[in-house]
Structure 1
Amino acid sequence: MRFIFLASSLLCMFVSSAQENKYQALLLDKSLTDNANAVVRLDYMKIHIGSPQKMTYTVRRAVTVMNKRGNRHVRTTASHDKETHIKKIEAFVYDRQGREIEHIKKKDFRDLSAVDGFSLYTDDRLLTFDYTPIQYPYTLEFRYEVETSDTGFFPPWYFLGGYLSSVEKSHYEITYDDPGLKPDIKKYNLEGLSLVEKEEPGQLLFTATNIPAIRPESLSPGFRSIAPRLAVRLKDFTLKGHDASVADWKQLGGWIDNTLLKDRDILNEETIAKVRNLVKGETDDLQKAKIVYKYVQENTRYVSVQIGIGGWKPISAIDVDRVKYGDCKGLSNYTHALLKAVDVASFYTVIHAGERKVDFDSDFARLQGNHAILAIPYKGQYYWIDCTSQVHPFGFVGDFTDDRNALIVTPEGGKIVRTVSYLNEQNYQKTTADYTLSHEGHISGEARIETEGIQYDNHFKLETLDHDEVVKHYKDYWDNINNLKIGTYRFENNRDSIVFTEKVPFNAVNYATLSGDRILFTVNAFNRNSYIPDRYRNRRQPFDIQRGFFDEDEFLVKLPEGFNVEAIPEPKQIDTEFGRYTMRIQYHPEMNTVQYQRSLLIKQGFYPKEKYNLYRDFRKQVARNDNAQIVLVKTNP
C-alpha cells in the first residue's frame, strides 16, 4: 500500500510539474531562440461557421518574450461592436520557469471606444489590457472567444507573425455545418514549412510546428510577401446586416455599391447649391474636380478610423457635411457626393495604404484593405485623390497609395486597377548651388532644390513647419557640413505642376580642411549619398528597391584667391542594372572656379539575393565618389 501511495504521489507530482512548467522558457530549443525576441509557444484559432450569418472563433495565443524588443509580439486586445460579441476573455502570465504569476480576468480589461470623442463611431470598441513585465523572459497567454454575425471579413492566418519571432506551434482550424459553407483558401509561401494539412467533411485543419524566426536584412521585402500565410473567404457572407454572394471582384464591387454605399451620397439642397455655385462657369470636369477637392480640404478634417475597426459602411455624406469630419471612407464618400452634385464622375476605391506597397490579389476576391480613396476618370485615365489629406495637391497621392492594385467600385461592378506609379526618373531632384570657398576654409552661398514625384512628397511639407523645425531639417539633411547656419530661406510650391522649390542661403566655418599650404575639400557639399546596404556573409532573402529616384546636381565653387588646383578627381561613370552614376569636375582657371556635375539613378526592382553584393558594390562606389576631394595649393607659399 505504501508503494502504491508513493507511486501515485510521484505521478501526481510529475503531472503537476509538467502542467506547471508547460511554458518554461529556460529549455527552449535553440532553433526557436536564434534571432528571436519572442517565441510564440502556441498560436491557436478555431473557427466555426454555423451559417452565412453566424460565426464563432476561439483564440489562444501564448508568447514567451525574451527581451524588451519582444513585447510588441504580445497581443491583449480584442475589438467588438454591435455585430461582434466577446463571450470570454482572459490572460495568464507565467515566469521563466512556466509558473503562473498572474491571472487577468475579463473585469481587468479596459473597455474603450475605438475612437474616443467622435460620436459617429461609438459602436466600435476595444477590450484591452496593458501588461508591464517585471522580468524577462516571461510568457503571456491570451484567450478569448467571439461570436459574430459578420462573416465577410474572414480571419486570415499567418503561421509566422513577423520578423524576429519564432513559432513552436501554429494551429488553424475551420469547421462548418453545411458543405455550402466551406470557405475558399489561398496559400502563400508554405514551401519548407513543417505543415500538416487535413480536410474532412465539415473540417479544414492546418498545423505547423517549429518555425524559426526570420531576421530582417537591408532591403528585405515586406514581411507579408514572404510570410507563410492563408487567405480565406466565404462566397456567401454577411457584413453589417447585409447578405452577399460574391465569386469575383466584379460581384464584390457591385455588392459594395448596391449595399454599403447605397444612399450614402445624399446631400441637402443647401450644400448642393453651394458646391454648384463654386464651379459656376466652369465646363471642364477636371477643373471642377479640383475646385471640389480644394473645398473638401479647407472645410473638413480627418479622424483615423481604420476599415477593420470602423466597419465597412461609410458615414453618410449628410453627416460628414454636418460635423465637418470623417474617416477615409466617410470623406471619400462625401467628396464623391459633392462631385456627383456638379456632374463629375468618381469611383469609391478600397486599397491597402502605407509606404510599403501591398496589392489586392487579382484572382482572389475578398474583403480587404485599410483605406479608401477616390478615382476620377478623365480622358482615358484615372486621377487619384486621397480625401483625408489637407495638404496634397489634386491628383497626387505620394507614397501612401501609389503603384498598387486597388478595388474601384462602379455601378457596373468592381474592377482591379493599378494606382498611379512614380517610377525612377519621375522621382526627381535637381540641386544647384553657387558658393564661395575662403582661404580659411569657410563656405557661403545659396543652394536651390527642386523636387518632383515621391521626392516632392518628402520635401513639400517643409512649408508647414516653423522656423526652428526648418533649420533643424537642413542641419540634419546636410549633416556633413559642420557649423552650418541657414539664412532667410524661400519656398515655392507649384501645386499644378507638383514641383517644390527651396532656395536656401547658408554659410559654414571650417568646412574645408587646412593642411599647411593646402586646402582639402569635398565639392559635393549638398547631396552626398553615403548609404551602403549592410554586409552579409550569407544573404538569405531577395532584396526589394520599392521606389527608384533620379538626382541631378550642379555646383559652382568660387575658389580663394592665391590658390590653384593641385589634384582633382577623374570623371566617373558607372552603369549597372540597378542604376547609373556619373560625376565630373571641371576646373576653370580663368574664372578661378570649379564646376561639379553629378547624377544618380536608382531603379525600382525586386532582385534575387545572388545580386545583392553587386548592388552593394555599386552603392559603395557611389558613396566613395560622392566624397571625392579636391586639393588646392597656395600659388606663393
Structure 2
Amino acid sequence: MYKRTLCCILAICGYFSLFAQTDDDNVIITNRIETYVFEESKGTAVVKEKSETYYECTKRGTSIPIMEMYDSQTTLDKVSNKRNATPKYNLYTTDDMFYSDAKVCHFDLSFDRKGSTGEVKFEKTYKDPRYFTSIYLSEPQFVKEKTVTITIPDWMKVELVDRNFGKNVAKEVKVDEKNKTHVYIYKITDEKATKVENNMPGKSHIFPHIMVLSKSATIKGEKITYFETLNDQYAWYNDIVKDVKNDEVIIKAKADEITKSCTTDDEKVKTLFAWVQDNIRYIAFEDGIAAFKPDDAQEVLRKKYGDCKGMSNLLKALLKAKGFDARLAWLGTNHIAYDYSTPSLSADNHMICALFFDGKTYYLDPTVKYMPLGEYPQTIQGRQTLVQDKDKSKYLLNRIPEFTPVLNTDSLYCEYTIDGDVMKGKAGQYYMGESKQVLLSLMDATPKDRLSGALKRFLENGNSQDEASDIQTIGATSQSKQVEMLYNIDNRSGLQQLGAEYYIDLDAGKDFMTNNIDTAKRVNDLEFSYRYHIVKNVVLHIPEGYKVSHIPEKLNIDKDGYTFRISYRQEGNKLFYKKEITIRDIYLRKSNFAEWNSDIAKLRKAYMEQISLTK
C-alpha cells in the first residue's frame, strides 16, 4: 500500500482541498428510460430493472466509460450497446475496501465525431427487495430527458420517498385496475451532471433520489415481512448476529491476559478498548449477508484484522468476558442523510460497541484508533444508534452525543527571543480529539525511518529557513486525551532586519490562509472533516533598546458557522499574539461561499501584516 510521508500531508493537516471537476458536456444523455417492476418469483418478491440510455456527442470525437454495478444480491441479466463495445466483468475494488462482493460490467463507448450517437441497455434483477433501497435521478452526464417508472403490484407494499427533488422533476401516479398495480412515473428534464468533489457531503444529502422502502409482500396468501417498522429491521439484524459463535474460553483467556495488570474497572475498560484499537487492523468488508454479520471474535483475534462488525464484536466479547455490560450497536455515519425513522438498509452503514458502565452509556468505535473512551469521531456524533437491549429481542434507540469544537483543540504556545537574525523559541503544541486522531494516524502512515524528519519539517511548517530541534512527543497513545509536542525552534523565516528595524511575522502556520473556494467550478456544498478549534499563542520578548513602532490591527470575524480572531497586545517588554479559528458548523453551504471567500481574504490580509520594532 502506498504510504505518504507525514510532512506532505501535515502541510495541510486535514484541512480541505478544493479541486472540482471541470465542466465538460462533450457527451450528453438525450434520453434515459428506467423501469422497475416488482414481480413474484419462486414464492418471493424480486425487482426487475431495465434501462435504456441514449447518448449524443456535442463537440468532438471522444469515448466515455460505461459502468454497471452488481453484487451477490443482484444479477446482471443482459448488456447491449450499438457501438460493438465488448463488455468486461471484474470485481470492483477501491483503496479503502479490503474486500467487496461488488462487481462491475464496464466498457468504453466511443464517438467518432460531433453529432454521433450511442445507445446502451442493461437488465438487472434484485433478488431481495430489502437491498433495493434507492433510485438516483442524476447521471455522470447532463440529462436532457429521463423517465423513471416504478410498477408496484397490489400484493407488494412499498413506500416511495422523494429526496432532494428540484423543480425539474414531475411525478405522476397511475392505477392500473386490470393488472392490479400502481405505476409511479417520474419525468426529469435538464438535470445537471453529477459532480463528485473533495470534501462534499454524502450523495444522499445532495443528489435527487427516490428512497424505496419495501414493507411486505403477500404471495399466495403468505405474508413476507421486510421492514414495515424499525422492529422488523432490528429483528432481521438480530437474527443475523445470533449466528455469531464467540468462543468464550478463548476470549476469556485473552481478556484476562490483556487486563492482568489492571486494578480498577475503569482501567480494565480502557485497556481492552486500547488493545483492540492498537492490535486489530481495520479493513472494510462487504459481501452480501456477510456485510451485516460480524466475524466470530476468535477469528478476528486469529487474523488480527476485521471490519467494523468484527472489531466491535471482538471488543464486546472481551468486555463481557470481564463482566461488563457491552452490546452491539448499528448506526449510519454522517455520510448518510437518513436515520431510523425510515427503516431501510440505506439508513446505516456502521457497527460499534455500546458499553453501559458506571451509570453512563459509552459508544466505542474501535475502527478509530486514537479516540479515547468517552470521545467520538465527527462521523458518528449526533447520530441515532440502534443498540441491543439486555435480552437482545428488543432494542434501544439512542443518540450519540455531539461535542463543541473545543474538544478538537489544536493549540500552540511559543515564546521567542531575538538573537541577531533569528527568533529563538521554546514551543509546545497540543492536539486533542480529531486533531489528535489526524496527527497520530498520519504518523502511523509514515515509514518509521522517515518519521523523525517528517515531524521536524512539520513543526517547521515546511519553511527551509527554520530549524526545529529537541522534539519530545508525549501522550501518543490510543486512550490519551491529548498529544503534546515540545520542541525548540529557530525561526528565520518570520524575521527580517533592515538597518535598525525589525519586521516580524509571529504566525508561521497561517491556518486556512489558502482555503478560498473556486466558485466558478465548485458545484456542491462543502463538508469540513470536523469542527476545528485552532489556538495559537505566541509571546515575543522585545530586545533591549527596541520599541514597538507598529502593531497590526486586530481581526474579528464572527459568523454563524465559524469565527476568525487575531489580536495583539503589549505588556512591558513582551508582545502577545493570539489567533483563534473555530469551525462550528461542518457544512458550508454553496450560498455562503462568497461570504466565506471574503472572510478568507480578510484573514489572508491580516496574516500579511507585520510587527515593526525600531530603536
TM-score (normalised: structure 1): 0.76
Q: Which residue in the other structure is 1:351 paired with?
A: 331
> Residue 129 in 1 paired to residue 106 in 2?
yes
* Partner of residue 80 from structure 1, selected from 71, 75, 78: 71
> Residue 408 in 1 paired to residue 387 in 2?
yes
3-state SS, counterpart of residue 48 of structure 1: strand
Residues 389-437 of structure 1 show CA distances to partners (whole Å, capped at 9, x for unaligned) of 4554344442343333343344243454333423222221221112233
Q: Tell me which amino acid in the other structure corresponds to 1:50.
A: E
From the superposition, tell whether residues 115 and 309 of structure 1 become closer, same or farther in structure 2 (CA, over 3 Å).
farther
Matches of 1:136 and 1:460, distance apart in 2:
52
Q: Which residue in the other structure is 2:417 paired with?
A: 436
Query: How much does 1:366 deviate?
Result: 0.8
Q: Which residue in the other structure is 1:486 paired with?
A: 468
Residues 7-31 of structure 1 show CA distances to partners (whole Å, capped at 9, x for unaligned) of xxxxxxxxxxxxxxxxxxxxxxxxx
3-state SS, counterpart of residue 346 of structure 1: strand
Q: Is the 8 A contact 2:248 2:321 kept in 1?
A: no
> Residue 460 in 1 paired to residue 477 in 2?
no
> Residue 110 in 1 paired to residue 90 in 2?
yes
> Residue 247 in 1 paired to residue 228 in 2?
yes
Q: Tell me which amino acid in the other structure corresponds to 2:473.
A: F
3-state SS, counterpart of residue 348 of structure 1: strand
Higher Cα Rg, which structure: 1
| Greater mean alpha carbon deviation, residues 134-143 or residues 313-322 | 134-143
Q: Which residue in the other structure is 2:243 paired with?
A: 263
From the superposition, tell whether residues 445 and 66 of structure 1 become closer, same or farther in structure 2 (CA, over 3 Å).
farther
Q: Which residue in the other structure is 1:39 paired with?
A: 28
Alignment of 1:512-527 (within 5 A): 512-527=495-510
Q: Which residue in the other structure is 1:173 paired with?
A: 149
Matches of 2:455 and 2:56, distance apart in 1:
41
> Residue 620 in 1 paired to residue 594 in 2?
no
From the superposition, tell whether residues 394 and 473 of structure 1 become closer, same or farther in structure 2 (CA, over 3 Å).
same
* Partner of residue 48 from structure 1, selected from 25, 37, 53: 37
Q: Tell me which amino acid in the other structure corresponds to 2:504.
A: F
Matches of 1:115 and 1:617, distance apart in 2:
36
Q: Is the 8 A contact 1:251 1:413 kept in 2?
A: no
Matches of 1:421 and 1:117, distance apart in 2:
28
* Partner of residue 174 from structure 2, selected from 173, 176, 199: 199
From the superposition, tell whether residues 133 and 345 of structure 1 become closer, same or farther in structure 2 (CA, over 3 Å).
farther
Query: How much does 1:492 deviate?
Result: 1.4
From the superposition, tell whether residues 219 and 274 of structure 1 become closer, same or farther in structure 2 (CA, over 3 Å).
closer
Q: Which residue in the other structure is 1:447 paired with?
A: 427
Q: Is the 8 A contact 2:535 2:580 kept in 1?
A: yes
Query: How much does 1:234 deviate?
Result: 0.9
The total of aligned residue pairs comes to 574
Query: How much does 1:610 deviate?
Result: 6.1
> Residue 530 in 1 paired to residue 530 in 2?
no
Matches of 1:552 and 1:280, distance apart in 2:
40
Matches of 2:145 and 2:438, distance apart in 1:
42
Q: Is the 8 A contact 1:439 1:560 kept in 2?
A: no
3-state SS, counterpart of residue 398 of structure 1: coil
| Greater mean alpha carbon deviation, residues 387-396 or residues 263-272 | 387-396
Residues 320-365 of structure 1 show CA distances to partners (whole Å, capped at 9, x for unaligned) of 3443333222222233233333332233233334xx6434334211
3-state SS, counterpart of residue 540 of structure 2: strand
From the superposition, tell whether residues 404 and 619 of structure 1 become closer, same or farther in structure 2 (CA, over 3 Å).
farther
Q: Is the 8 A contact 2:300 2:306 kept in 1?
A: yes
From the superposition, tell whether residues 303 and 220 of structure 1 become closer, same or farther in structure 2 (CA, over 3 Å).
closer
Residues 597-636 of structure 1 show CA distances to partners (whole Å, capped at 9, x for unaligned) of 3333332266776665444444433333333311122x3x
Alignment of 1:495-574 (within 5 A): 495-531=478-514, 533-534=516-517, 547-560=530-543, 563-574=546-557
From the superposition, tell whether residues 550 and 324 of structure 1 become closer, same or farther in structure 2 (CA, over 3 Å).
closer
Matches of 1:284 and 1:386, distance apart in 2:
22
TM-score (normalised: structure 2): 0.78
Q: Is the 8 A contact 2:274 2:479 kept in 1?
A: no
Query: How much does 1:262 deviate?
Result: 1.0
Q: Is the 8 A contact 2:156 2:217 kept in 1?
A: no
3-state SS, counterpart of residue 314 of structure 2: helix
Q: Tell me which amino acid in the other structure corresponds to 1:558.
A: H
From the superposition, tell whether residues 314 and 461 of structure 1 become closer, same or farther in structure 2 (CA, over 3 Å).
closer
Q: Is the 8 A contact 1:62 1:140 kept in 2?
A: yes
Query: How much does 1:103 deviate?
Result: 1.9
Q: Is the 8 A contact 2:89 2:103 kept in 1?
A: no
Q: Which residue in the other structure is 2:568 paired with?
A: 585
> Residue 377 in 1 paired to residue 366 in 2?
no
Q: Is the 8 A contact 2:415 2:538 kept in 1?
A: yes
Matches of 2:530 and 2:342, distance apart in 1:
26
Matches of 2:470 and 2:120, distance apart in 1:
56
Matches of 1:626 and 1:278, distance apart in 2:
50
Matches of 1:540 and 1:85, distance apart in 2:
34
Matches of 2:567 and 2:515, distance apart in 1:
22
Question: Percent same amino acid at aligned positions?
Answer: 19
Q: Which residue in the other structure is 1:594 paired with?
A: 575
Query: How much does 1:439 deviate?
Result: 3.5
Q: Is the 8 A contact 1:439 1:561 kept in 2?
A: no
From the superposition, tell whether residues 539 and 149 of structure 1 become closer, same or farther in structure 2 (CA, over 3 Å).
closer
3-state SS, counterpart of residue 620 of structure 1: helix
Q: Which residue in the other structure is 2:285 paired with?
A: 305
Q: Relative contact order (alpha carbons < 8 A, sep ≥ 6): 1 or 2 greater? A: 2
Query: How much does 1:150 deviate?
Result: 2.3
Residues 274-311 of structure 1 show CA distances to partners (whole Å, capped at 9, x for unaligned) of 32454469796654433332343454333321377953
Matches of 1:461 and 1:117, distance apart in 2:
18
Query: How much does 1:182 deviate?
Result: 3.4
Query: How much does 1:489 deviate?
Result: 1.8
From the superposition, tell whether residues 84 and 237 of structure 1 become closer, same or farther in structure 2 (CA, over 3 Å).
farther
3-state SS, counterpart of residue 508 of structure 2: coil
Q: Tell me which amino acid in the other structure corresponds to 1:487.
A: S
Residues 189-236 of structure 1 show CA distances to partners (whole Å, capped at 9, x for unaligned) of 224124242332423332312213477999876553232211101113
| Greater mean alpha carbon deviation, residues 323-332 or residues 533-542 | 533-542
3-state SS, counterpart of residue 345 of structure 2: coil
